[in-house]
Amino acid sequence: MHRILFPTLGSAGDVYPLITLSSYLQERGHDCTIIANPTFRGPVQAAQINFIPLGSEQQYIDLTTDPLFWQPTRAFGVIVKKGIIPFLQPLLDIFLSFSPKNTLIVSPLLLFAGQIAHQSYGYQFATLQLQPSLLRSKHAPPVLGNTPIPDWMPPNLVSLYYWLLDTILIDPLLAPAINEFRAANNLPPVRRIFQNNLYSDQLNLCLFPEWFAPPQADWPKNTICTGFIAPPETTTPHADIMDAFLRAGDAPLVFTAGTAAPFAKKFFSVAVQVSSQLGKRAILLTRDGSQLIGQMPNNILHLPFYPLDQLLPQAAAFIHTGGIGSLAQAVAAGIPQLIMPLTNDQPDNAYRVSRLGLGDMLLPRQFTTRNLMVKLDFLLNNHIMLQRCQDYALRVSFDSALKKTADLLEELVAPL
């Protein structure tokens, strides 16, 4: 039996695909363990998957409620300080408690303990990324922050941009701690970490389809796109309330700010105003009722949670902050989406949706009642876009992506 370790320090949107993948691999005879913040112990163990806690619930709260974490130009420093450096040694200690003879580590890019375990201790190692925002290319660069690199910029200038980014921002924040950690494990220092020491030399899994991020010649070797993976099936809370609301009128707008965003009062306030002024019904999904202001009008339903795979096929449009899991569910449902990206991968995801003609975006400073009304009126009445959304829904196969991902991991563990 092969043991497969899935570490993560992300939010629910990062953990849930790992639950789906682990469950499927366990059905195929592998022993899977998810290593994550204790916040996610419940859903992991409910799926009968081994769970090892990493960090504390307070550390997760401190990271996701830090105002700088939600600013595109400041988020990386917070991630390094609160999400990367504190967990280098604890995560490596967890890895080293398993034998390298029958253990595969499947890690997101920024948990550098996986590279150390592979390079210094001989563990099999694959990287896994749910979104393409860190896949550098001088031919098709991802969007960093809220400003895309212009299409007219020649490849040599894009390469210079990456060099400046590494030299001025990334390495000064990250390299001292990473190289100290490498030295403690008998490895030489590295420069330009994002350029030279981010990916596995064995397998780099991208859990999104090629049409969402077409592969580039200068992507890392052994990089394979498998497709979106759905979250695990879950019970349907408030089903009677939801069914009654959906039966009572036209298909609603659906708004959510995601599972990790703590600063969403403006988002939901604008949602209520726009829905009323457009004469539309709306569903607001947030576990934090304090994000909502005042009593909801009759055309608005608030619920703390509802499975998007069950709700979105009955919606008119989906307005969210651009998490890859939410985005994938909207594409699969065949409905247009309007994204207000906040930070990290969300701006890049939003630009890709816009370029594919599957929706549009508004930056946070643009997210006003008037602007959202104009955008939604366009989305809801653009028959070309509506048809395009239906066409792309046929290209999403969660089951095929799951099988392809598992097949590739099994090929890697076969020699163990």
What is the spatial distance between Cα 58 and Cα 66, in angstroms, rounded to a whole number?
A: 12
Bridge partners, residue 33, by sequence: 5, 50
Residues 377 and 404 in one domain: no
Mean residue pLDDT across the chain? 95
Q: Which amino acid is at 84?
A: I
The pTM for the full model equals 0.95
Whether 234 maps to a domain, the answer reads: no
Range of 63's domain?
3-227+398-413
pLDDT confidence of 260, banded at 50, 70, 90?
low
Token pair belonging to 229:
């993976």
Whether 42 maps to a domain, the answer reads: yes
Conformation bin of residue 53: beta by default, left when phi > 0, alpha when psi is -120 to 50: beta
pLDDT confidence of 261, banded at 50, 70, 90?
low
Residues 189 and 336 in one domain: no
Residue 223 belongs to domain with CATH number: 3.40.50.2000
* Nearest by Cα to 301 from 348, 266, 353, 249: 249
Tell me what the mean pLDDT of segment 213-228 comes to.
98
Residues 370 and 403 in one domain: no
State pLDDT tens for residues 23-50. 999 999 999 999 999 999 999 999 999 9
Per the structure, how many domains does the chain have?
Answer: 2
Q: Which amino acid is at 325?
A: G
The owner of tokens 């930070």 is 343
Residues 17 and 70 in one domain: yes
Exposure pattern of 78-105 as b/e (b: 16+ CB <10 Å)?
Answer: bbbebbbbbbbeebbebbbebebeebbb
Residues 311 and 213 in one domain: no
Q: What is the pLDDT, as a whole number, of residue 263?
A: 66
The owner of tokens 């490895």 is 187
Residues 200 and 329 in one domain: no
Q: What is the pLDDT, as a whole number, of residue 167?
A: 97
For residue 416, pLDDT beyond 80: no
Residues 244 and 277 in one domain: yes
What is the spatial distance between Cα 132 and Cα 21, in angstroms, rounded to a whole number?
A: 19
Helices (H), 4-147: 12-27, 41-46, 57-64, 75-79, 88-96, 113-121
Strand 337-339 to strand 282-285: parallel, antiparallel, or no bridges (unpaired)?
unpaired
Whether 105 maps to a domain, the answer reads: yes
What is the spatial distance between Cα 183 and Cα 11, in angstroms, rounded to a whole number?
A: 31
Residues 118 and 205 in one domain: yes
Residues 84 and 223 in one domain: yes
- 272: helix, coil or strand? helix
